[in-house]
Chains A and B, each alone.
Chain A
Amino acid sequence: MTAVVEQPPARPKVKAGGGERGLIDLVLRFREAGILGALVVLVAVTTVINPRFLSAQGVEDIFLNASILALLAVGQTLVVVTRNIDLSVGSVVGLVAFVVGDLVSGTQHGVLVAVALGVAIGAACGLVNGLLVSFCGVPALVVTLGTLYVIQGLNHYIAHGEQISAAEVPGAILSLGNGDLLGIPYLPLISVAVMLAVGYYLRSYSSGREFYAIGSSPEAARLAGIPIRRRVLTAYLAAGVLAGLAGTLWLARFGTVVADPARGWELDVVAAVVVGGVAIVGGVGTVYGAALGALLITTIGSVLVVLKINPFWQEAIVGLLLLLAISADRLVALRLARVLRKRNVRHG
């Protein structure tokens, strides 16, 4: 996944027949279309077998469940695009869900307080990760593995076998997780809004495109004068903030929180991002793809339930999907590189 096929992140609008760029553009579009296609086929086949799959309740459940994962996937995309990784997000979600739940239960605090608390805790975690990775130059995997342990331990220490019960959580906060606006639940609305905002930023601002430059070639990015440390710090901070928001939404949706509710989620999030076409080696991918990846993984879970397939298959299928996604991506990239090389030769 090096040099040859690093695509420009912001897709240039090239008219048909625009040569190499048009080709790259096509492949990039194909990637997200591929996930969308898989999703459509999955839903169609399931609906044919069991028409009740597409009931209003069923669809709403899928979107509610996917929206928290999608928020995390958007944050993770920012980090992975810069050729880093954040394994601590799952434990941040757990910590925030528990601590915010603990602080607001029995009170009349509103949604704003809960969100502000969650975002603040998430931001603090993201800041620690970001400072360690960007300013201390320590490998991201090791740092976030370490903070995963620390945050998880902290969470267990604070929770100490207790749990938050929905009865104590203020109604205003619970209604954030279960209420709706004109029939559309808040959670997917929030996730889509965040996704569009981050997607627009990455695509349309030069500072946004610098995230891709860093991931494509850190050395070139440095020589081009891009403030790498600041951008990487921003990526981690954003991932932390979104994990904090996701933790608050978790509390709002479920109300009942045991210690470390999102244990193991870091891998689901990474899977969603990679399935969504974000290259783990950085520089390639969009938040839309990542959010679609989250939706696909959540949908598979529901499909297995509806088709009465052993739900244990889900984990195996997610793994298989991930392997297929990275393999297909690699094969397409190799083919593309070959085509481009041929063209370059022809054009002299």
Chain B
Amino acid sequence: MAEATGTVRGKGAGAGRFVRWDVVVTALLVAVFFGGVGISPDFGNTDNLSFALGDLGEIALIALPMTLLVVCGQVDLSVASVLGLASALTGWLWNAGWAFETIVPVVLVVGVVCGLVNGLLVTRLGLPSLAVTIGTLSLYRGLAYVVLGTEAVSQFPAQYAELTTTNVPGTPIPYQVALFVLLAVVTALVLHATGVGRALFAIGAQEDAAFHAGIRVKRIKLVLFVVSGLVAAFAGIVYTLRYGSARADNGVGLELAVIAAVLLGGVDFDGGKGTLGGVISGVLLIGLLRNLLMLNDVATEIQSIVTGLLLIVSVLTPRLAGVVRERRARRRPAAAPA
């Protein structure tokens, strides 16, 4: 925490700014990694790391569109329910004798429709996304139960199931992580190197101004919600194959884990601020911490406490640092704090 109040690194000219939280999270990540290697001999070996990474698969995937949404001041709480609905549908259609190759596109289309419903309610009616997606969180999860009840469907085709549990040949990288890296690069480019990305920040910072500057605010938001639904449905298929079990309650509560990762990565919940690098660090930090606690036989309950505390600290530190800086600046208006 001391780091955040300390000196300004990087662009030294940014007077009045403290060290960016995403840098702090990345530093924490490095510290946890090397600390972990020191504490647990098993932590650093490639098998464990690739397991830890693969285990993050769905959270990491959904975190990408969620980052874009939060940057433009929106949130999608229905993602885990879309994941559950996708899983239940996959199981139901598989039971009904559909070919897996037909199931996948159908489920993805359902994900798109889920996202479209969210997006239309937010953009056409001007409703707050928090309220809309709490509603659809319930609705989509309910539909998942209506589709599959409490049944569990397993025995999916081996060649697809293996894709979620094996590594890319010759590397310690699980397939879903390779896919994540690919999508993360695309998302990072969109967010940080294109006009669309700048538009997202603009919408998050000041929506009215963005609108008057000619940004098609509604269109962009709608597309983001659709992408979020699509990715969540895809994550539902990955989840189903990885655990070899399609259930309506798959991924319950996962939305909170995704949002925790995004906020931990330094994206401002009020919109307009954040970096994708920070989010990736946030996702990895949560994943590695959980893995490290697990290796040391720390109860899973403590993992939940650690996640919660990290989340609180991640929003609290920058604010407190800001307050401290402001006070100091007021006391010594001329001299910049060392």
List A residues at the B interface (Cβ < 8 Å): 1, 85, 132, 136-139, 141-143, 145-157, 160, 264, 267, 270-271, 274, 280-281, 310, 312-320, 322-323, 326-327, 330-331
Contacts of A155 in B (CB 8 A): 301
Q: Is B132 an interface position by the 8 A CB rule?
A: yes
Evaluate contact between A152 and B142: CB separation under 8 angstroms. Answer: no
A153 to B260, CA, bound (A): 15
Give 18 A-B pairs besides A157-B302, A320-B139 with Cβ atoms closer than 8 angstroms. Answer: A85-B130, A141-B130, A141-B269, A142-B315, A146-B311, A151-B308, A153-B303, A153-B306, A153-B307, A154-B305, A156-B301, A160-B301, A280-B130, A312-B248, A322-B138, A323-B139, A326-B131, A330-B125
Evaluate contact between A322 and B131: CB separation under 8 angstroms. Answer: yes
A146 to B259, CA, bound (A): 10
- A-B contacts, 22 of them at CB < 8 A, read A139-B269, A139-B315, A141-B75, A147-B312, A149-B260, A149-B311, A150-B312, A152-B304, A153-B304, A156-B300, A264-B253, A267-B134, A270-B134, A271-B135, A274-B135, A312-B146, A312-B149, A316-B143, A316-B145, A319-B142, A323-B132, A326-B127
Q: Which of B126, B252, B310 contacts A330 (CB 8 A)?
A: B126
Contacts of B143 in A (CB 8 A): 316
Evaluate contact between A322 and B135: CB separation under 8 angstroms. Answer: yes
A310 to B142, CA, bound (A): 11
A28 to B33, CA, bound (A): 56
Complex: chain A residue closest to B117, CB-CB: A323
Q: Is B82 an interface position by the 8 A CB rule?
A: no
Contacts of A314 in B (CB 8 A): 142
Evaluate contact between A139 and B270: CB separation under 8 angstroms. Answer: yes
Evaluate contact between A150 and B145: CB separation under 8 angstroms. Answer: no
Contacts of A315 in B (CB 8 A): 138-139, 141-142, 145
Evaluate contact between B304 and A138: CB separation under 8 angstroms. Answer: no
Contacts of A271 in B (CB 8 A): 134-135, 138
Q: How many residues of B contact A (CB 8 A)?
A: 49
Contacts of A151 in B (CB 8 A): 308
Q: Is B225 an interface position by the 8 A CB rule?
A: no
Contacts of A310 in B (CB 8 A): 145-146, 149
**B288-322 at interface with A (beta carbon < 8 Å):** 299-312, 315-316, 319-320
Contacts of A149 in B (CB 8 A): 256, 260, 304-305, 307-308, 311
Contacts of B309 in A (CB 8 A): 146, 150
A221 to B119, CA, bound (A): 32
Complex: chain B residue closest to A329, CB-CB: B127
Task: From B136, B142, B252, B303, name the one whose CB has the most chain A CB atoms within 10 angstroms.
Answer: B142
Interface of B is mostly: helix
Evaluate contact between B260 and A145: CB separation under 8 angstroms. Answer: yes
A314 to B301, CA, bound (A): 30
Minimum CB–CB distance from A320 to chain B (whole Å) comes to: 6
Q: Which of B121, B125, B131, B311 contacts A145 (CB 8 A)?
A: B311
Evaluate contact between A138 and B316: CB separation under 8 angstroms. Answer: yes
Assuming A149-B260, A326-B132, is B308 touching A157 (CB within 8 A)? no
Q: Is B53 an interface position by the 8 A CB rule?
A: no
Q: Which of B125, B138, B303 contacts A319 (CB 8 A)?
A: B138
**B136-195 at interface with A (beta carbon < 8 Å):** 136-143, 145-146, 149
Assuming A312-B145, A312-B146, is B315 touching A143 (CB within 8 A)? yes
Complex: chain B residue closest to A274, CB-CB: B131
Contacts of A157 in B (CB 8 A): 299, 301-302, 305
Evaluate contact between A280 and B301: CB separation under 8 angstroms. Answer: no
Q: Is B263 an interface position by the 8 A CB rule?
A: yes
Evaluate contact between B127 and A330: CB separation under 8 angstroms. Answer: yes
A110 to B196, CA, bound (A): 63
**B241-292 at interface with A (beta carbon < 8 Å):** 248, 252-253, 256, 259-260, 263, 269-270
A137 to B310, CA, bound (A): 17
Q: Is B6 an interface position by the 8 A CB rule?
A: no
Minimum CB–CB distance from B271 to chain A (whole Å) comes to: 11
Complex: chain B residue closest to A331, CB-CB: B125
A148 to B77, CA, bound (A): 15
Q: Is B35 an interface position by the 8 A CB rule?
A: no
A270 to B252, CA, bound (A): 17
Complex: chain A residue closest to B256, CB-CB: A145
A317 to B139, CA, bound (A): 7
Q: Is B16 an interface position by the 8 A CB rule?
A: no
A313 to B134, CA, bound (A): 16
Minimum CB–CB distance from B78 to chain A (whole Å) comes to: 9
Complex: chain B residue closest to A268, CB-CB: B138
Minimum CB–CB distance from A162 to chain B (whole Å) comes to: 13
Minimum CB–CB distance from B204 to chain A (whole Å) comes to: 13
Evaluate contact between A318 and B142: CB separation under 8 angstroms. Answer: yes
Evaluate contact between A317 and B142: CB separation under 8 angstroms. Answer: yes
Contacts of A312 in B (CB 8 A): 142, 145-146, 149, 248
Q: Which of A153, A317, A320, A331 contacts B302 (CB 8 A)?
A: A153
Q: Which of B142, B149, B307 contacts A316 (CB 8 A)?
A: B142
Contacts of A146 in B (CB 8 A): 260, 308-312, 315
Q: Is B128 an interface position by the 8 A CB rule?
A: yes
A314 to B320, CA, bound (A): 43
Complex: chain B residue closest to A263, CB-CB: B253
Evaluate contact between B311 and A327: CB separation under 8 angstroms. Answer: no
Complex: chain B residue closest to A322, CB-CB: B135
Complex: chain A residue closest to B257, CB-CB: A149
A310 to B136, CA, bound (A): 19
Q: Which of B146, B300, B310, B316 contacts A136 (CB 8 A)?
A: B316
Minimum CB–CB distance from A75 to chain B (whole Å) comes to: 17
A160 to B301, CA, bound (A): 9
Evaluate contact between B316 and A281: CB separation under 8 angstroms. Answer: no
Evaluate contact between B126 and A267: CB separation under 8 angstroms. Answer: no
A151 to B146, CA, bound (A): 31
Contacts of B142 in A (CB 8 A): 312-319
Evaluate contact between A148 and B308: CB separation under 8 angstroms. Answer: yes
